[in-house]
Amino acid sequence: MFSYQAGNITIDYTVEAVPNIQEITVNVCPNGGVKLVVPRGLNQSNLHFIIAKKAKWILEQLGETPTEAKEETAERQNEEIHNVTQAAFVPSFQDGDKIPYLGRQYRLNIVKEDKTEAELTFRAKFLATVPASWNEQQTNEGLQALLTDWYITRAEDKFQECLKSLAKQMDGVPGQIEWEDLQNEASRVKADGTIVLNWRLLTAPMSTIELVLAREIAKQTGAAELFEDAAERQQWLEDNTLVVF
């Protein structure tokens, strides 16, 4: 359960993270419950911002009227947005979920065994083995950590593979790049010129990853568009978000 303080009224709300959707829905139930239905991958700050933007509408649906507050500075308003019950947002995983990797969807199988540590393997599907003693929250938190580590571990190999391929086709290709969690932003360049890719790009086909990287290199070297099928490679980014789970 999450909470947002609107004036003198507290809005309590729950969150349902659903795979393979892009739109966000705010539901106000007759019994006064507020529920967000969101794509997997949104962080807690995203959720707070959504509720803050919709607070007036939510209160109208609930028939509530908060006391008018005095004018507040932008800093104070920002503080209000984050004035919530401390609770980490963790996606929900179900056996049979589809997990995206390099442009394809792979099934996630969850198995509970009498063991103390969780582990994850990948061979044509994701197989997660978790302790039978874990409750739902522990299982979701454990799977989130396992999958995140799995993607980040593979980011080095796959992004380096793209670098080697581009080095044969264009000049000015750096020897190394970095990767971070950039949410839904595909890439970024640091002040020192270092190219940073979103590790979540591993959800995209290799051809699309190459396009993103080649364009960042071209910005620095002034090279022309490298790929004749650039529009096709770009289309994946237009049709999809970089939501992993």
pLDDT tens-digit profile of 89-139?
A: 567 899 999 999 999 999 999 999 999 999 999 999 999 999 999 998 899
In this structure, are 67 and 179 located in the same domain?
Answer: no
Mean per-residue pLDDT over the chain, rounded = 83
Model confidence at 44: pLDDT above 90: no
For the entire predicted model, the pTM comes to 0.64
Higher pLDDT, 77 or 176: 176
Tell me how far apart the alpha carbons of residues 41 and 151 are, in angstroms, rounded to a whole number.
14
> Domain check: are 66 and 106 in the same one?
no
Task: Return the pLDDT at 61.
Answer: 85
Q: In the prediction, which pLDDT does 225 show?
A: 86
| Position 116, amino acid | T
Task: List, edge to edge, every strand of the sheet that includes 9-18.
Answer: 2-6, 9-18, 34-39, 25-28
Task: Tell whether 231 and 147 lie within a shared domain.
Answer: yes
Rounded-to-integer distance, Cα 95 and Cα 17, Å: 15
Domain finish residue from 81, 112, 140: 81
Domain boundary among 52, 81, 110: 81
Tell me if 115 is assigned to some domain. yes
Q: Is 124 left (phi over 0), alpha (psi -120 to 50) or beta?
A: left
In terms of residue numbers, what domain contains 68?
A: 2-81
pLDDT in tens, 144-172: 889 999 999 999 899 999 999 999 999 99
- Residue that is written with structure tokens 């999809």 in the block: 240
Residue corresponding to tokens 């995203």: 46
Please indicate whether residue 208 or residue 82 has the higher confidence score (pLDDT).
208
Same domain as 223, residue 123: yes
How many domains, in total, are found in the chain? 2
**For residue 57, pLDDT beyond 90:** no
In-domain check, residue 87: no
Contacts of 12 (CB under 8 A, 6+ apart): 1, 2, 3, 33, 34
Specify the pairing of strand 126-131 against strand 187-189: unpaired
